Copies of this chain bind each other. A is one copy, B any other.
Amino acid sequence: MSESQLSTDQSVGLVAPQSVVFDQSIELTSKGVLHGFELAYETYGELNSDASNAILICHALSGDHHAAGHYGDADKTRGWWDTMIGPGKPIDTNHFYVVCSNNLGGCGGSTGPSSTNPATGKPYGPDFPIVTVEDWVHTQTMLSDHLGIQQWAAVMGGSLGGMQAIQWSISHPERLRHAIVIASAAKLNAQNIGFNDVARQAIRTDPGFFNGDYYQHNSNPDRGMRVARMLGHITYLSESLMGQKFGRNLRQKATFDYEFTPEFEVESYLRYQGDSFVNRFDANTYLLMTKALDYFDPAAQTNDDLTRALAPAKTNFLVISFNSDWRFSSERSKEIVRALQSNKHNVSYADIDSPYGHDSFLLENSDYFELMRAYMTRVRGDLADENKEGR
């Protein structure tokens, strides 16, 4: 089937999560040890005979391994990057074998704080160790080995996912040919860390948190989670988009009630987003993910010199930022690009015009999607060269 016959709204369709259990103990960056763990993942498309067409998708803060397709009800269970991944889509599953795993510490099926600790028979809760981007990359290499993938055609992700792509390029330069780093940063700044700590304090001071042992108390720090997510949403959107989308519109009424019930649409929206999140995400995992964001700083090993930190990389880079993203601003992507250029690494960079702030990396946008399509065509070209076969 040629690409021209494919509609871009085709999906990989019905998918099912898979998982792999690793029996060996691993020591994490935090010196915490896990005696075996499980990783949940999904795959889309077919691995080719020399295992050269595999793409690793790394998820962000509240994402998981369900990146594309659906679980039987496409309206409700569509993957978080279904617009990007599929037959005829920018990451074309007619050509690529796409893998997305739930990060260690997650709540989507991989071993995390809500999993049973084999040492106690109870959920890990606060005993689950701090995990870092380096740990995720390490465990993703174990998944790569399990899947028989020696070298990824590309490793990519947005935000925290982009940090994983950067870390792959530093820690395992031979194991990927392309790194795609979207709406990300080489390290969080003080403002980012501050927002993360507000979210953490909202959760950790919730009386329902029980120091992370809430599973044992038939409890949930849902008030704190709700506040954390409301705050997150404001920072994922741009000021101008919030202005366009909500402005000062009132909520289904003509005048103020002068009450603490929501007066403005934006209040209802944020509260709804907060409430929805509480029902689908584990608080301890949210805490761990924000900590992994804070800790990521590869240049900390090289006296704050990002160029030196990125020197080991051998991959080609595509770096993408969005001009309305103030949580991971374009300037943060340019820092990465400059450090890559100083190393004479092969790097393409685009600052995409989008009003949607940090959320842009998850949303359909013609400039962004055409860029991704063009770049992935190039990745396929490399593949064809290496395979010595046409497609």
Contact = CB atoms under 8 A, between A and B. Distances in A.
Contact of A198 (B193, B230, B237, B239): B230
B227 A190 contact: no
A188 B249 CA distance: 12
A259 to B, nearest CB: 7
Contacts of A297: 248
Given A187-B248, A189-B242, A259 B130 contact: yes
A118 interface: no
A271 B204 CA distance: 13
Interface string A15-33: 0000000000000011110
Interface stretch (A89-97, A105-113, A260-268, A383-391): A260-268
Nearest to A288: B260
Contact of A248 (B193, B207, B258, B274): B193
A70 interface: no
Contact of A264 (B233, B245, B263, B294): B294
Interface in A204-232: 204-207, 223, 226-227, 230-231
A194 B234 contact: yes
Nearest to A208: B207
Contacts of A380: none
A316 B150 CA distance: 73
A188 B248 CA distance: 8
A384 to B, nearest CB: 43
A195 B130 contact: no
Contacts of A223: 205-207
Contacts of A353: none
12 contacts: A129-B258, A190-B242, A193-B264, A193-B267, A194-B233, A194-B267, A198-B270, A201-B271, A206-B223, A207-B207, A227-B227, A231-B231
Interface of A: 29-32, 129-130, 187-191, 193-195, 197-198, 200-202, 204-207, 223, 226-227, 230-231, 233-234, 237, 239, 242-243, 245-248, 256, 258-260, 262-264, 266-267, 270-271, 274, 287, 291, 294-295, 297, 300
Closest 7 CB pairs of A and B: A30-B258, A190-B242, A205-B223, A190-B246, A130-B258, A190-B266, A197-B267
